[in-house]
Amino acid sequence: MARPRSAAADCAILDATRAALVELGWSKLTMGDVAARAGVAKTTLYRRWTGKSALVVDAVAVLFDELELPDRGSLHADVEGVVLSFAALLARPETSTSLMAVVAESTRDAALRDRLRCAVVDRQKRLVLDGRARAQARGELPPDSDPASAARQTDLVFDLIAGAVVHRALVSGEPVDEAWAAGFATLLVAGLGAAHPPAPPPQPRTPPEPC
Amino acid sequence: MARPRSAAADCAILDATRAALVELGWSKLTMGDVAARAGVAKTTLYRRWTGKSALVVDAVAVLFDELELPDRGSLHADVEGVVLSFAALLARPETSTSLMAVVAESTRDAALRDRLRCAVVDRQKRLVLDGRARAQARGELPPDSDPASAARQTDLVFDLIAGAVVHRALVSGEPVDEAWAAGFATLLVAGLGAAHPPAPPPQPRTPPEPC
DNA sequence: GTGTTACGCTACGAGTCGTAGCGAAACGCT
DNA sequence: AGCGTTTCGCTACGACTCGTAGCGTAACAC
């Protein structure tokens, strides 16, 4: 019933944030700088976001939506594909720097952690769900025995893939190339194939823990 | 041939850094605060470290040395053990926050990246090397075919374990408990057992790439 | 048109940064 | 003991960023 917030300004601010991240990195990025690049007042930024972390989460979240999982004909090939495209995404300076910095901040800020999870993490689990369903349709993986264990394994595979790629690229600092992706996929596919058929033997207690 | 730097001051500074990290976290940690806690002048800090990141790397590096790999009788149990002790280390507020923040900074600072690698990353590969040698002695894993592929697989396993645990704990934000560790170990051991015996089939090109 | 709201602008106190300059104290060496 | 060298504590400094407040103006819905 009055003037609405400018969607164009939102877009300009997020673009400016990404551009500033590429040039300056996380630590030298300032709110005033982003405001100047976007052609808005600094106060406008603080009217919409609580601080640098929240702004960067929104600016970077959309980049993760470009990840896709084309059907490459086998589970092994699908894993290779997602590893390489995730690595390509992490190779861009604005994603790697800001993702790690936001994760660091989120260890002390519950609101930021929730925002990060629903804007980035949970949305990418679809890739694992897709790949898993596809492999089951091909007969490469057995169908779900029960929903709880299916969810558990989906989470496990997600943390495995994303964690390993991030660690290789950003912590170990070595390239995620085709050779590495092939070795990783071989290991993962073999593990899934061998570990699944019998119900996982040594898992004594597992509270349902629905999300 | 003159006054040496006080080792006691070094120790007091690093202790103060860890204490400040616990209380304040990474973003609110200031050099002046650390200096005050340690009972030293701020200039002394800048005489020994270039900035906050370098200081925190040194302060946190020693915490990772507490990781050990007692022989639990099987590869599966050894993996479970290292996963849980690494998770316990990451549960401490000073490690999780600062590790991620330093990794974020290191994506833009080559000197910091080197420092991080040799102070933290490379020193922990010993755990994988130990566990691997032990499993080979037990006959759970085949002996090394050639040194290059052995090194490649060591790196892969290292990134897999460390990456998955970090991702689960800090990004997904879910607990690394015994059930998860058991599921992870089952998958990893199965993958290693199945993928290894025949030379990895779909690895077309693999430049030697010695480190 | 009119009312409501977002926006741009300026200014502000508080806090941090990293450095410079100084005198004093601590240590190795002879 | 005496000397030379280096570290250390202290103070002060300009530059910068932060996050907020206040105000007048412009844009939009009704």
Cα separation values, A79 from A51, A134, A180, B21, Å: 36, 12, 12, 38
Domain identity same for B113 and B12: no
| Inter-chain contacts counted by CB atoms under 8 A, chains A and B | 201
Chain B neighbors of A178, CB-CB under 8 A: 204-205
Chain B neighbors of A121, CB-CB under 8 A: 171-173
Distance CA A197, CA A195 (A): 6
pLDDT at position A194: 77
pLDDT at position A210: 35
Task: Identify whether A71 is part of a domain.
Answer: yes
CATH number of domain containing B43 = 1.10.10.60
Task: Identify whether A2 is part of a domain.
Answer: no
Q: Average pLDDT in the A190-197 region?
A: 76
Task: Identify whether B14 is part of a domain.
Answer: yes
CATH number of domain containing A96 = 1.10.357.10
Q: What angle do CA B123, B128, B129 make, to 5 degrees?
A: 85
pLDDT tens-digit series, residues B142-190: 999 899 999 999 999 999 999 999 999 999 999 999 999 999 999 999 9
A49: amino acid identity, one letter = W
Structure-block tokens of residue B165: 């645990």
Q: Is the CB of A167 under 7 A from strand C?
A: no
Task: Identify whether B203 is part of a domain.
Answer: no
pLDDT at position B143: 94
pLDDT at position B195: 61
Q: Is the CB of B109 under 7 A from strand C?
A: no
In terms of residues, how long is chain A? 211
Domain identity same for A42 and A75: no
To which residue do tokens 């910091």 refer? B112
pLDDT at position B2: 79
Best of B80, B107, B161 to disrupt the A interface (most A CBs within 10 Å) is: B107
Decide if pLDDT at A211 tops 70: no
* Contact between A101 and A170 (Cβ < 8 Å): no
Domain identity same for B44 and B144: no
**Span CA (A52) to C1' (C19), Å:** 28
Kindly determine whether residue A159 and residue B162, on different chains, have CB atoms separated by under 8 Å.
no
Q: Is the CB of B53 under 7 A from strand C?
A: no
> What DSSP state is assigned to residue A107?
T
Distance CA B183, CA A151 (A): 12
Task: Identify whether B201 is part of a domain.
Answer: no
Q: Which domain holds residue A27?
A: 7-48
**Span CA (B1) to C1' (C28), Å:** 5
Domain identity same for A74 and A176: yes
pLDDT at position A84: 97
Q: Is the CB of A107 under 7 A from strand C?
A: no
Domain identity same for B20 and B106: no
Domain identity same for B77 and B179: yes
Chain B neighbors of A158, CB-CB under 8 A: 172
Domain identity same for A99 and A163: yes
Task: Identify whether B37 is part of a domain.
Answer: yes
Task: Identify whether A205 is part of a domain.
Answer: no
Domain identity same for B165 and B84: yes
Question: Where does residue A209 fall: left (phi above 0), alpha (psi -120 to 50 degrees), or beta otherwise?
Answer: left
To which residue do tokens 């940690």 refer? B29
Domain identity same for B103 and B163: yes
* Contact between B184 and B178 (Cβ < 8 Å): no
pLDDT at position A196: 54
Question: Where does residue B177 fall: left (phi above 0), alpha (psi -120 to 50 degrees), or beta otherwise?
Answer: beta
**Span CA (B3) to C1' (D4), Å:** 11
Domain identity same for A81 and A172: yes
> What DSSP state is assigned to residue B108?
S
**Span CA (B1) to C1' (C30), Å:** 12
A102-141: string of b/e by CB count within 10 Å (b at 16+)? bbbbbbbbeebbebbbebbbeebbebbeebbebbeeeebb
Domain identity same for B42 and B77: no
A104: phi then psi, degrees, rounded to nearest 5: -60, -50
> What DSSP state is assigned to residue A65?
T
pLDDT at position B196: 55
Number of domains in chain B: 2
**Among chain A residues 22-51, those with CB within 7 Å of any atom of strand C:** 39-44, 47-48
Decide if pLDDT at B141 tops 90: yes
Domain identity same for B149 and B84: yes
3-state helix, strand, coil in chain A (%, to 5): 70, 0, 30
Chain B neighbors of A25, CB-CB under 8 A: 105, 107-108
Distance CA B183, CA B86 (A): 16
pLDDT tens-digit series, residues B76-105: 999 999 999 999 999 999 999 999 999 999
Best of A89, A141, A186, A196 to disrupt the B interface (most B CBs within 10 Å) is: A186
Task: Identify whether B89 is part of a domain.
Answer: yes
